[in-house]
Amino acid sequence: MAGTTRVLGGHPGLYGEYSRKGGIAITATHYCAGCGHGILHKLIAEAMVALGVQDRCILLSPVGCAVFAYYYVDCGHVQAAHGRAQAVATGISRAEDGAIVLSYQGDGDLASIGLNETIQAANRGEKIAVFFVNNTVYGMTGGQMAPTTLIGEATITSPGGRDPVQSGFPIHMCELLDTLRAPVYIERVSLSDVPHIHRARHAVRRALEIQRDGKGYAFVEVLSPCPTALRMDALAMEQFINEKMEKEFPLKLFRDRSKDTEPIHRPRSDYSKDTLDRIFGCTEETLRAEAFEDTAFETKGIKIAGFGGQGVLSMGLALAQCAYDSRRYVSWYPDYGPEQRGGTSNCSVVISGSPIGSPVVDHPDVLVAFNRPSLVKFAPTVAKGGLIICDSLVGDYAVPEGIRAIAVPATEIATEMGVPQAINVVMLGALMEVGGLGLPGEAYSGALFEVFARRPELLSLNRKLLEKGAKAARESRTT
Amino acid sequence: MVSRLVAGNSAVIIGAMYAGCDCFFGYPITPASEILHEASQYFPLAGRKFLQAESEEAAINMVYGAASSGHRVLAASSGPGISLKQEGISYLAGAELPCVIVDVCRAGPGLGNIGPEQSDYNQIVKGGGHGNYNTIVLAPNSVQEMCDLTRKAFDLAFAYRNPAVVLADGVLGHIVEPLRFPAQAVEPKIDTTWAVSGNRETKGNVITSIYLNFDELERHNVRLQRKYARIRENETAYEEYKTDDARIVLVSYGISSRIARSAVDQARREGIKAGLFRPITLFPFPEKGLMLPAARNCTFISVEMSNGQMQDDIRLATGCGRVELVNRYGGNLIRVEDLMEKIREIA
């Protein structure tokens, strides 16, 4: 352990003593002899200090042996779930534009359970530096096969050597990410021996420079020794990386586009109430005085039903707006059902002089049916003494006893006026006239403005449709 | 006071933004998608951060990241998406990170359908992920509360450094009702005592949920349980309607409580002494509030769109054998007449 102590100690990017680790050997790491993590920790620590960004750095500890990176590296630390580090990094980076976010992950973490997070973060060009420790094996969990395990390489879960028919081929992360447009920097380096470590030091520093300059995604794959899980001595380990791993995972600078990349700046958050009031349109014009208790005003349940596209839901909203403008308690609820994605739709509107309990209308006082299927479905549910308003096109229908029904040629009127899509406004006019809802007439035309059209030319057309609907309902005989 | 007609899912975003929420990370799922839509529209207008994530898991881990750096952050989903988020919620609870998650519950199990249900009760109220933890759970029953309880959820999440969930349902997400806009806008401050924000003040902080030493992890668990006990002591909220002299007490939350309220009115018109007890916090469950009617030997009816998940909690709270259940499944709402049938049978 003495060797490890010398390698990691005495640098301002690392803690002087590893008090978070505790134990007797307070300056020794928990890593095995010959492990690559200590080297990579030190390279990161050096780059942080050399670039003067140590205070801004947040290192994401992965699941795996380096979960305790926060014992050693002197910066901010966040530990992430297995595979999720780059999503966590995205969250930090988006929230804290000034932070330099470093994601440190092994091969199982990054290339297996976290492959989606990796590709997506890279593809968005997140402002993060990713250090991908590839040692061809799950180290901490006990030496299982990794996505990067070489063909024929024996592990606990590939005891006969990795068989591509059974387990596929080693995954090449740099090559995979190199197909994406957004990443700024992609390089594969090795920690096998001193010359390789020098090149790795350069790559780590470039990745941090790109973060210092706020330019985007930097990915450094590091071929790293795990002598314990791979059951090798130092020499065998060095040969394995230099000869076998490098053959499968060639060392290469895949891209460095930092010179051609502009820094990304995230906006500053605005918390002022004025801004919120403005963007939500909280103006005198849109806000209303609240409803008042009026027990003399009876609760009314209205159901509006028809084909999708006939404006059933917006008619309900207009009625709700009308009741609301009249200072009545009101709720609007669009019904679900298997037919929601096409076919028929319906909504419930409850209008009351007191706070509303159930917003769902099981037994409507008024049913507005735009088509025959809606009439057939809901007519039997109408409350005793209730009213049905339907389009004249629905044809003959035996209305349940004790229910009044009025047919209005809404489709005909809307078509004649050249706006066949405005059947709902005609129906609203009919409802205004004969619905007995106790809401003032001017509230209906006001609601048209709120819900349908703020353009004056449409408003006058809608008023005409409303009047025609009302007139037709007046003239309509009770069927 | 002035107000405007607003949909429940929109009210969540209004509540969150006036509460100083800085980040939203989401993934589309019916019937919660409008929260995502509204966030994509309004967050950027105030320089707040919006991102559509690649998955529910990524979204909740982005929440974890932004929360780690001390920011107010919101996520929203529904049943199947919440199931996927549970890993992240466990990490958030373990690392004691504040955030707000809205669950607009739909019908299950499995893919189920997009109609309303309350069957996420257990997976929200009882923790849901691995480990011994609880989230703070608030249950709105109106558009106004979709806004107000989202705001309150942020306050509680930060007061206790704990995830808080707003548990709604498909009806509450889509219903349109008047909303009184918040009178104040919160300008949040980063708590540098624990956050990791990428600056000198917070360089010494660590966000983690790993405690390798058994005794240390046990101490962490005990500390969490003490925190939950404090939440139970201080934050329980409920509403009572005509329970003073009630012989039959309906216990219900969310949209079902609105239907139950109508049933109480109907029962009273028929001369039956019925009342409504509505938990506003589901964790902590308002056990003490239920003890009074239990002491009067009332009959309880759990009114829920699930298989008696809340009924179990009412039984535990009251020690009472007579807890009836009126429920529906599959996206169907409970009808006032279904409730009246049971009320008349008991009366």
3-state SS, residue B303: strand
Say which of A79, A290, A360 has its CB closest to residue B207: A79
Nearest CA in chain B to A290: B2
CB contact under 8 A, A120 and B20: no
Q: Among B310, B314, B331, which Cα is nearest to B323's?
A: B314
Residue A9 is predicted with a pLDDT of 56
Q: How far is A406 from chain B (nearest CA, A)?
A: 28
Average pLDDT, chain B: 97
3-state SS, residue B198: coil
Write out residues 210-269 of B within 8 Å (CB-CB) of A.
210, 255, 258-262, 265
Q: For residues B57 and B84, is the Cβ–Cβ distance under 8 A?
A: yes
pLDDT single digits (tens) A229-266: 999 999 999 999 999 999 999 999 999 999 999 999 99
Lookup: tokens for A8: 């990691």
Nearest CA in chain A to B241: A357
Residues of chain B with CATH 3.40.50.920: 238-346
Alpha helices in A233-297 (DSSP H): 234-239, 246-248, 273-279
Q: Give the C-alpha distances (Å, rounded to integers) separating B347 from B242, B247, B272.
A: 16, 8, 7
SS3 content of chain A, % helix, strand, coil (to 5): 40, 20, 40
Residue A457 is predicted with a pLDDT of 75
Answer positive or negative: Cα dihedral of A380, A385, A390, A392. positive
User: Would you say residue A7 has pLDDT above 80?
Assistant: no
Partners of residue B19 on adjacent β-strands: none
Q: Among A405, A403, A424, which Cα is nearest to A306's?
A: A424
Banded model confidence at residue B3, pLDDT cuts 50, 70, 90? confident
pLDDT single digits (tens) B327-337: 999 999 999 99
d(CA A37, CA A418): 75
Which residues in chain A have Cβ-Cβ distances shorter than 8 Å to B198? 55-58, 76, 92, 96, 98-101
Measured in degrees and rounded to the nearest 5, phi and psi for residue A338 equal -60, -20
Banded model confidence at residue A479, pLDDT cuts 50, 70, 90? very low
Residue A2 is predicted with a pLDDT of 46
User: Would you say residue A394 has pLDDT above 50?
Assistant: yes
Which residues in chain A have Cβ-Cβ distances shorter than 8 Å to B63? 91
d(CA B313, CA B300): 12
Q: Which residue has 């998955």 as its token pair?
A: B55
d(CA A17, CA A92): 28
> Which residue type does B267 have?
A
Q: What is the mean pLDDT of residues A142-158?
A: 96
Where residue B302 falls (left for φ over 0; alpha for ψ -120 to 50; beta otherwise) is: beta
Burial of B321 (0-12, 13-18, 19+ CB in 10 A): exposed
Residue A337 is predicted with a pLDDT of 56
Which residues in chain A have Cβ-Cβ distances shorter than 8 Å to B95? 79
Which residues in chain A have Cβ-Cβ distances shorter than 8 Å to B1? 289-290
Residue B142 is predicted with a pLDDT of 98
Map out the domains of chain A as residue ranges: 2-260, 300-475
DSSP state of A472: H
Residue A456 is predicted with a pLDDT of 74
Residue A283 is predicted with a pLDDT of 79
User: Would you say residue A436 has pLDDT above 50?
Assistant: yes
Partners of residue A113 on adjacent β-strands: none
Q: Which residue of B68, B189, B259, B326 to mutate against A (max A Cβ within 10 Å)?
A: B68
Q: For residues A115 and A223, is the Cβ–Cβ distance under 8 A?
A: no
Q: Among A59, A71, A181, which Cα is nearest to A131's?
A: A59
CB pairs under 8 A between A and B: 241
Whether B107 has its CB under 8 Å from any CB of chain A: the answer is: no
Q: How far is A200 from chain B (nearest CA, A)?
A: 25
d(CA A455, CA A225): 70
CB contact under 8 A, A91 and B199: no
User: Would you say residue A8 has pLDDT above 90?
Assistant: no
Collect contacts of A194-197 with beta carbons under 8 A, ≥24 apart.
A196/A242, A196/A251, A197/A39, A197/A43
Banded model confidence at residue A338, pLDDT cuts 50, 70, 90? low
**Helices first, then strands: H and E counts in chain B:** 12, 16
Q: How far is A34 from chain B (nearest CA, A)?
A: 23
Which residues in chain A have Cβ-Cβ distances shorter than 8 Å to B200? 55
**What dotted CATH number matches B3-235?**
3.40.50.970
Say which of A120, A280, A332 has its CB closest to residue B176: A332
Whether B174 has its CB under 8 Å from any CB of chain A: the answer is: yes
DSSP state of A264: P
Q: Give the C-alpha distances (Å, rounded to integers) separating A130 from A102, A113, B57, B97.
A: 6, 16, 19, 24
**What dotted CATH number matches B238-346?**
3.40.50.920
Task: Enumerate residues 6+ apart whose C-beta is below 8 A from B69.
Answer: A58, A91, A92, A95, A96, A99, B190, B195, B196, B197, B198
Q: What is the mean pLDDT of residues B223-242?
A: 98
CB contact under 8 A, B65 and A89: yes
Nearest CA in chain A to B72: A95
Average pLDDT, chain A: 93
Say which of A77, A270, A337 has its CB closest to residue B206: A77
3-state SS, residue A103: strand
Express as a percent the part of chain B with pLDDT over 70. Answer: 99
CB contact under 8 A, B65 and A286: no
User: Would you say residue A425 has pLDDT above 90?
Assistant: yes
pLDDT single digits (tens) A288-324: 788 999 999 999 999 999 988 889 999 999 999 999 9
d(CA A275, CA A283): 12
CB contact under 8 A, B58 and A87: yes
Partners of residue A220 on adjacent β-strands: A131, A187
CB contact under 8 A, A288 and B3: yes
Q: What is the mean pLDDT of residues B276-298?
A: 95
Which residues in chain A have Cβ-Cβ distances shorter than 8 Å to B208? 61, 70, 77-79
Answer positive or negative: Cα dihedral of A69, A74, A80, A84. negative
User: Would you say residue A284 has pLDDT above 80?
Assistant: no
SS3 content of chain B, % helix, strand, coil (to 5): 45, 20, 35
Which residues in chain B have Cβ-Cβ distances shorter than 8 Å to A57? 198
Whether B193 has its CB under 8 Å from any CB of chain A: the answer is: no
d(CA B167, CA B253): 10
User: Using alpha carbons only, how large is chain A's radius of gyration in Å?
Assistant: 35
d(CA B326, CA B61): 38
pLDDT single digits (tens) B152-199: 999 999 999 999 999 999 999 999 999 999 999 999 999 999 999 999
Lookup: tokens for B85: 């988020």
Q: For residues A118 and A85, is the Cβ–Cβ distance under 8 A?
A: no
Express as a percent the part of chain B with pLDDT over 90. Answer: 98
CB contact under 8 A, B207 and A272: no
Nearest CA in chain B to A267: B47
Q: How far is B262 from chain A (nearest CA, A)?
A: 5
> Which residue type does A238 have?
E
Say which of A78, A269, A333 has its CB closest to residue B207: A78
User: Would you say residue A341 has pLDDT above 80?
Assistant: no
Banded model confidence at residue A286, pLDDT cuts 50, 70, 90? confident
Q: How far is A99 from chain B (nearest CA, A)?
A: 4
Q: For residues A218 and A183, is the Cβ–Cβ distance under 8 A?
A: yes
Q: The domain A2-260 is classified under which CATH number: 3.40.50.970, 2.60.40.3670, 3.30.230.10, 3.40.50.300?
A: 3.40.50.970
Q: What is the mean pLDDT of residues A106-113?
A: 97
CB contact under 8 A, A359 and B177: yes
Burial of A259 (0-12, 13-18, 19+ CB in 10 A): exposed
CB contact under 8 A, B65 and A117: no
Q: How far is A98 from chain B (nearest CA, A)?
A: 7
CB contact under 8 A, B208 and A331: no
**Rounded to the nearest 10 degrees, what angle do helices B56-68 and A115-124 cross at?**
70
User: Would you say residue B217 has pLDDT above 80?
Assistant: yes
Banded model confidence at residue B220, pLDDT cuts 50, 70, 90? very high
d(CA A99, CA A215): 13
Is A300-475 assigned to CATH 3.40.920.10? yes
Q: Is the peptide bond before B31 cis (omega within 30 degrees of 0)?
A: yes
Q: Provide the 10 A C-beta neighbour count for residue A179.
A: 10
User: Would you say residue A134 has pLDDT above 50?
Assistant: yes
Measured in degrees and rounded to the nearest 5, phi and psi for residue B77 equal -160, -165
Residue with more model confidence, A27 or B206: B206
Which residues in chain A have Cβ-Cβ distances shorter than 8 Å to B67? 91
Banded model confidence at residue A431, pLDDT cuts 50, 70, 90? very high
User: Would you say residue B237 has pLDDT above 70?
Assistant: yes
Residue A453 is predicted with a pLDDT of 65
Residues of chain B with CATH 3.40.50.970: 3-235
User: Would you say residue A340 has pLDDT above 60?
Assistant: no
Residue A285 is predicted with a pLDDT of 72
> Which residue type does A140 have?
M
